[in-house]
Structure 1
Amino acid sequence: MGLYRRGNIWWMRFSYNGKQIRRPTVTEKKLAEKIYCKVMTKIAEGKWFEVNQHEDNTFEEMMDKYLLEYSPKKAPKTYMRDKSLVAHLNRYFGHYKLNKIAPKDIYAYKIERIKECAAPKTVNNELILMGHAFNLAIKEWEWVNDNPVSKVSKEKVSNQIERWLTFEEEKRLLETSPYWLQEIILFCLNTGLRRGELIDLVWDRVDLERKTFTILEQKNKCKDTLPLNEKAIEILMARNKIRSIKNDFVFYNNNGNKIGPDNLDRSFRLAVKKAGIEKFRFHDLRHTFATRLIQNGVDVYAVQRLGRWKSISMVMRYAHHYAESLRSGVEILDKVQNNFSTNLAQSHKKGITAIAVIP
């Protein structure tokens, strides 16, 4: 078989009309073999042309190449999400030839997914992934000449998240949580850590003397050293007294090992249910962190830095006010009105006195 490896890519080599042809395929040998056999069949049938050798590439082949060569470069969780999104896309487009996919087909897919009760954000993520794969197929693989996804509008998504934990709900949640979960809940409420960041936190990144901690691998691709408040320090001091001898994780399970995200979610949902709190996710602890800061007058830029969001606009998704937090704003009008009335009364009184002393 005319396949050979160059770097991470399997190349195919064959003769066509007396000319030696070399073409890159993919990084996975079995898929490269399928592509090679397909080309050999088309040559035998007289249906292969050098200029249009990719005209019969299917959507599924494009997504296989994407998952093999590009998606693994992403974070592990993002890679797993990509595989899930591709499964939905392949179910509809898998058999389509790339050059036969039109904007109307993508629009029809979007409508079908909405009928299946897929969330608008999920549908958009699928289209974004599909569009990215098409861009690679155009610019780097030279499989197609056009990206039909770019001509289809995305679904409108409401980023407004109205859920945060009240202090009364916090009290109930802590009462229904085991002690190990209480520490995690309080630590997240006081640091704004994401679930993965909380699970991955190790003592090497904590400086109790300086009252700081460092986040290395995170969503915004940055390294940040952040301050800890007294409540967070109190929790860390207690955890420091019972550090695991098996590993360096700050928070760990009963066996002294790293906490599994599914186990943490399961325990958290059970505590939320027992507390009678509706529609509250673990990530909403981070939401509560940002909301409480802004409701108490912390500068939005400071909240952005503390929560490590990429932009101010992202912070504003989490910056919701309730009526009492806005009261001081409207009370300014009372103050302005009272000052005006007082000044007017004083001016009027002076005017009357002046008239009274005129001879």
Structure 2
Amino acid sequence: MSIRQRNGIWWIDLRTPSGERVRRSTGTDDKRAAQEYHDRLKAELWRVAKLGDTPQYTFEQAAVRFLQASEGQKDYATKVRHIKYWRDQFAGRAISSLTTEEVIDALPTHAIYKNKGRVKLTPATRNRYLATIRRIISLCAEWGWISHPVKLRPAKEPTVRVRWITQAEATALVNVINKDWLKDVTRFALATGMRSGEILSLEWSAVDLSRNIAWVSANKAKSKKARGVPLNPEAVALINAQKGIHPTRVFTRNGNPQKYVDPKMFARACKAAAIVDFHFHDLRHTWASWHVQAGTPLFVLKELGGWETLEMVKKYAHMDATHLAPFANAVTFWSHGTPEKKTATG
């Protein structure tokens, strides 16, 4: 039988004029539609073999080759997730038949989470889905599978948000936090710039107080790259204060390891300190901003904070303009001479 059903979906099974076997999902549970797809594909294969027409490649074929080329990349799992989504939209379609309008209209708008329910996706997240299918299409052009790749422009993303507070505000914030564990975690974030997940997952085996250094392993780092974190005296004192509380974790909530900082608890502390529009992750922005203001070079800050590229750190560059000061006097006007005294005329 040239079409057969598997788990509710119809699959085709045929041979080309040259004898090559083709087995493929039609992406539909409608037998009539599946049969029509089979007949059109069979005719297309005949035209390719007998008349020299350009072969048509499906989205699935392109997706498989794309994932093979992406193996070993750090965002491979994300690419797989995107492919699963796009396969639901364009299963069985010839990659050359996709249009700009179809792809844009098919972009996901919401995600469904177990605890949060239906959540609207940000422009940045939608752009990641778009980037995956755009890369697939561009590779198809490189492979000679299509001659005219569709143009897919990313949506405009909001300006990168950098929210930081002064040292006086930070002191006020720490003073109003009434939970010792949260107070310690907050102070440690300000001292090291570590992310909340990195702090809460920090283990004693990853701390060397004889060298004043801690390590963030690759599987716990956002960039998926391990890094060493130098500990200043404030950070060392905070770690020493945690000794004996838990056998493996450095920071806990009354001896109980935590996966994340309670956002509501942190928000209440910010409100008590009269600090608005501030989240726990902004402590990292604050730490980076203080560094730049103190003269830490951006390339050094990149290594300290574990950012993957220097471009990611440039959002803090405006915090320090001292390197521009020598050029401020390159153009002057008023200091060239004493202004003439104007004489009133009748």
Is the shorter-chain TM-score for this pair beyond 0.5, marking a shared fold? Answer: yes
Shift of 1:237: 0.8
User: What CA distance in whole angstroms lies between the structure 1 residues aligned with 2:279 and 2:201?
Assistant: 19
Cα distance in 1, alignment partners of residues 244 and 226 from structure 2: 27
Mapped partners of 1:43, 1:315: distance in 2: 51
The one-letter code sitting in structure 2 at the alignment partner of 1:225 is G
1:194 maps to what in 2? 195
Alpha carbons of structure 1 residues 210 and 32: separation in structure 2 relative to 1, 3 Å: farther
Residue ranges of structure 2 left out of the alignment (5+ in a row):
3-11, 111-118, 336-346
Post-superposition Cα deviations, 1:185-205, rounded to whole Å, max 9, x if no partner, equal: 111111111233223322221
Match of 2:290 among 283, 289, 292: 292
1:225 positional shift: 2.2
Q: Does 2:100 correspond to 1:103?
A: yes
Please give the root-mean-square deviation of Cα atoms over the aligned residues, in Å: 5.0
Give the equivalent residue in structure 1 for 2:308.
310
C-alpha distance 197-144 of structure 1, shift in aligned 2 (>3 A): farther
2:138–2:149 Cα contact (<8 Å) kept: yes
Match of 2:206 in 1: 205
TM-score (norm 1): 0.63
Deviations 1:262-307 (A, max 9, x none): x544433343344432222222111111110110112222212211
> Could you tell me how far apart the structure 2 residues matched to 1:129 and 1:120 are?
14
Match of 2:340 in 1: none
In structure 2, the residue matched to 1:170 is 170
Partner of 2:313, secondary structure, is helix
Residue identity matched to 2:226: K
Q: Which moved more, 1:209-218 or 1:306-315?
A: 306-315
Which letter maps to 1:172? Answer: A
The answer on whether the counterparts of 1:62 and 1:133 sit within 8 Å (CA) in structure 2 is no
Aligned residue runs from structure 1 range 1-359, under 5 A: 15-16=15-16, 19-21=19-21, 41=35, 45=39, 47-48=41-42, 49-50=44-45, 51=48, 55=56, 57=58, 79=77, 83=81, 98-106=95-103, 119-135=122-138, 147-148=149-150, 151-157=151-157, 159-174=159-174, 175-217=176-218, 218-244=221-247, 248-254=248-254, 256-257=256-257, 259-261=258-260, 264-321=262-319
Answer whether contact 1:205 1:213 (CA < 8 A) is retained.
yes
Contact 2:194–2:284, Cα closer than 8 Å, also in 1: yes
The question of whether the paired residues in 2 share the 8 Å contact of 1:290 and 1:319 is answered with: no
Q: Structure 1: state its 5+ residue gaps.
A: 3-11, 26-30, 341-359
CA distance in structure 2 between the aligned counterparts of 1:146 and 1:38, rounded to whole angstroms? 31
The one-letter code of the counterpart of 1:286 is R
In the alignment, the residues of structure 1 paired with residue 246 and residue 15 of structure 2 have an alpha-carbon distance, to the nearest angstrom, of: 66
Q: Aligned to 1:214, what secondary structure does the other structure show?
A: strand
Code of the residue aligned with 1:287 in structure 2: it is H
Q: Is the 8 A contact 2:57 2:145 kept in 1?
A: no
Greater helix share, 1 or 2?
1
User: Deviations 1:94-133 (Å, cap 9, x if unpaired)?
Assistant: 89764332234456678x99xx986443343232122134
C-alpha contact (below 8 Å) 1:160/1:318 kept by paired residues: no
For the Cα contact (< 8 Å) 2:212–2:230, is it kept in 1? yes
User: For the Cα contact (< 8 Å) 1:215–1:223, is it kept in 2?
Assistant: yes
**Per-residue displacement from partner, 1:297-322 (whole Å, max 9, x unpaired)?**
1222221221122333321213342x
* Post-superposition offset of 1:178: 1.6
State the alpha-carbon separation in 1 of the partners of residues 17 and 326 from structure 2.
86
Q: Equivalent residue for 2:6?
A: none
Q: Note closer, same or farther for the CA distance 1:278–1:55 as it changes in structure 2 (3 Å cut).
A: farther
TM-score by length of 2: 0.65
SS in 1 for 2:194: coil
1:56/1:66 CA distance change after superposition, 3 Å: closer
CA contact (8 A) 1:201 1:251 kept: yes
Structure-1 separation of matches of 2:122 and 2:152? 17
Give the counterpart letter for 2:283 in structure 1: L
Separation in structure 1 between the aligned mates of residue 291 and residue 142 of structure 2, nearest angstrom = 45
Cα shift readout 1:223-279 (whole Å, capped 9, x = no counterpart): 3223210111111111123123xxx2222345633x223x54443334334443222
Cα distance in 2, alignment partners of residues 316 and 166 from structure 1: 20
SS in 2 for 1:240: coil
- Give distance in 2, aligned partners of 1:139 and 1:194: 40
Change (3 A) 1:330 1:67: closer
